[in-house]
Amino acid sequence: MDDKEGGTSESGPSHDWGDMTHECLVNILSRVSLEDRWRGAMLVCKPWLHACKEPCLNSVFDLETRFDSSTELPRYWTPEFERKIDAMLLSVVAWSDGSLTEIRVRHCSNRSLSLVSERCPNLQVLSIKSSPHVTDEVIAKIASGCPNLRELDISYCYEISHESMALIGRHCPKLQVFRRNLMNWLDPSQHHGIVPGEYLDACPQDGDADATAIGKFMPHLLHLELRFSKLTAKGLVLISEGCSDLEYLDLSGCANVTSRDIANASSSLKNLKTIKRPNFYIPRSVFHVERYGHWRLYDERFQTDAFRI
């Protein structure tokens, strides 16, 4: 039986979680994951929603773990999904009240990043992989509005050019981590049916222009990723000359540089601890003999010795 006067039952005392103090709610919600707050806590009642909007709970917005733990789906590349990501990011920027320091999302657009550039002066980490509608226009705003950036990931963002990289380098002198990875254009079959075909065909072609901007305007880089970049030996030399503090360099899939090119360029990088070389397996059927000559030349250029068919 219920003890109506004492508000208890045989199973123990009952609680009205909505009557908890705001400070107590914020303390509890700070121990809850981002996903659980969005999918659960915000839907409980108005006091919980109000607590979830506290700036101290919105200094970091990280969806990358969610994307990493799931298979890439075609719906991620739809306008509807992009609008959902934008809506979430816009909300977090507003709630953070300028305290946002880290953003890791995918499939956002200029719409949300414009507000980031205006209201996140303390931003240190920005990762916007696979955002096909992010352009140079908004990256220019990010460069001027977020001068404290120390990490930037624009992988698979094909509408961002070397001009934006130069602006980021000029305005963000603290930048130490930069990622400009491209999709596997040598064997794009892994992306078929997921990434729109026209986007795969838009893969940036001038890797040396990217390398020039990096080498000239990002002198303090420690970590650089350029997977499947189309840079040549010339671009690699520019990077090694301009980014002498590099400790990590990822050149996986960079088909236009050889082992000799890498050895020559990296010899001046005294702090280099890790280098990912462009060793990969590619079926012979992908290439035409008349373009690459005989198989021995192909082996020498792309270092496929360890992956003999």
Q: Which two tokens stand for residue 159?
A: 């509408």
Phi, psi of 231 (to 5 degrees): -65, 155
In which order are the strands placed within the sheet that holds 125-129? Answer: 60-62, 102-106, 125-129, 151-153, 177-179, 223-225, 248-250, 274-276
- Stretches where the chain sits below pLDDT 50 are 1-12, 283-309
Per-residue pLDDT tens over the stretch 124-183: 999 999 999 999 999 999 999 999 999 999 999 999 999 999 999 999 999 999 999 999
d(CA 56, CA 47): 16
Q: How far apart are CA 111 and CA 91, in angstroms?
A: 12
What is the pLDDT at residue 225? 98
Give the domain ranges of the chain.
Answer: 21-57, 59-282
**Res 15: pLDDT:** 54
pTM of the model: 0.82
CB-CB contact of 135 with 161 (8 Å): no
CATH number of the domain at 59-282, please? 3.80.10.10
Residue 236 CA to residue 225 CA, distance in Å, equals 12
pLDDT for position 52: 72
> What is the enclosing helix (H) or strand (E) of 225?
strand 223-225
Q: CA–CA separation, 178 vs 220, rounded Å?
A: 10
pLDDT of residue 129: 97
Query: How far is Cα 182 from Cα 157, in angstroms, rounded to an integer?
Result: 8
Contact 159, 136 (CB under 8 A): yes
pLDDT at residue 247, as a whole number: 98
- Closest to 176 measured CA to CA, from 116, 105, 248: 248
